[in-house]
Amino acid sequence: MSASAPQSPPDDDRTSFSKESLKRAFFDHLFYTIGKFPKISGKNDFYVALAHTIRDRSLHRWISSTAQYNRTAPRMVAYLSAEFLMGPHLGNHLINLGLADRVREALEELELDYNEILRQEEEPGLGNGGLGRLAACFLDSLATQQIPAFGYGIRYEYGIFFQAIIDGWQVEKTDKWLRYGNPWEIQRAEWAVEIKLGGHTEQYTDDAGHFRVRWVPEKTVVGVPYDSPIPGYHVNTTNTLRLWRAEATESFDFSVFNRGDYLGAVSKKVTSENLTKVLYPNDETTQGKELRLEQQYFFVSCSLQDMIRIHLVRGGSITTFHEKFAIQLNDTHPAIAIAELMRLLVDEHLLPWEQAWNITTRTFSYTNHTLLPEALERWPLPLFQRILPRHLEIIYEINARFLNDVRIHFLGDESRIARLSLIDETGERYVRMAHLACVGSHAINGVAELHSELLKKGVLKDFYEMWPEKFHNITNGVTPRRWLVLSNPRLTELVTRTIGDAWVTDLPRIRQIENHIDDESFRQAWRAVKRANKADLAALIQRRTGVQVNPDSMFDVLVKRIHEYKRQHLAVLHIVTLYHRLKSGRARDLQPRTFIFGGKAAPGYHMAKLMIKLITSVGDVINHDPDVHDLLKVVFIPNFNVTLGQCIYPAADLSEQISLAGKEASGTGNMKFAMNGALTIGTMDGANIELREQVGPENFFLFGHTAEEVQALRDAGYQPSDYYHSHSELRTCIDLIRSGFFSRGDAGLFRPLVDNLLYHDPYMLLADYQSYIECQDLVAQAYRDTDAWTRMSILNTARSGKFSSDRSIREYAEKIWKVDPVPVELYDESELEGSLRPHAMR
- Catalytic positions are 369, 560-561, 566, 668, 672
Phi and psi, residue 201, nearest 5°? -115, 155
Sequential DSSP letters for 595-607: EEEE----TT-HH
Query: In angstroms, rounded to a whole number, what is the distance separating the alpha carbons of residues 108 and 90?
Result: 17
Cα–Cα dist 788/785, whole Å: 5
Amino acid at 109: E
Selection from 764, 434, 385, 310 nearest residue 570 by Cα = 764
| Cβ-contact 26, 102 below 8 angstroms | no
The length of the chain is 842
What DSSP string runs through 628-671?
TTTSEEEEE-SS--HHHHHHHGGG-SEEEE-PPTTT-S--SHHH
At 537, which helix (H) or strand (E)?
Answer: helix 520-545
Ranges of beta strands (E only) in 684-738 are 700-702
Q: How far apart are CA 648 and CA 673, in angstroms?
A: 9
Sign of CA dihedral 103, 104, 109, 115: positive
What 8-state DSSP symbol labels residue 2?
-
Of residues 566, 570, 612, the one with CA closest to residue 772: 570
CB 565 within 8 A of CB 665: no
* CA 732/CA 728 separation, integer angstroms: 6
Distance, in Å, from the CA atom of 358 to the CA atom of 352, rounded to the nearest integer, reads 10
Residue type, 349: H
CA distance 411 to 413: 6
Cβ atoms of 455 and 368 closer than 8 Å = yes
Rounded to whole angstroms, what are the CA distances from 574 to 595, 663, 718, 773, 782?
10, 21, 22, 6, 17
Measured between alpha carbons, how far is 752 from 336 in angstroms, rounded to an integer?
37
| Residue 344 CB contacts under 8 Å (≥ 6 apart), including other chains | 304, 305, 308
Chain center to CA of 652: 21
Q: Check if the beta carbon of residue 226 is closer than 8 Å to that of residue 188.
A: yes
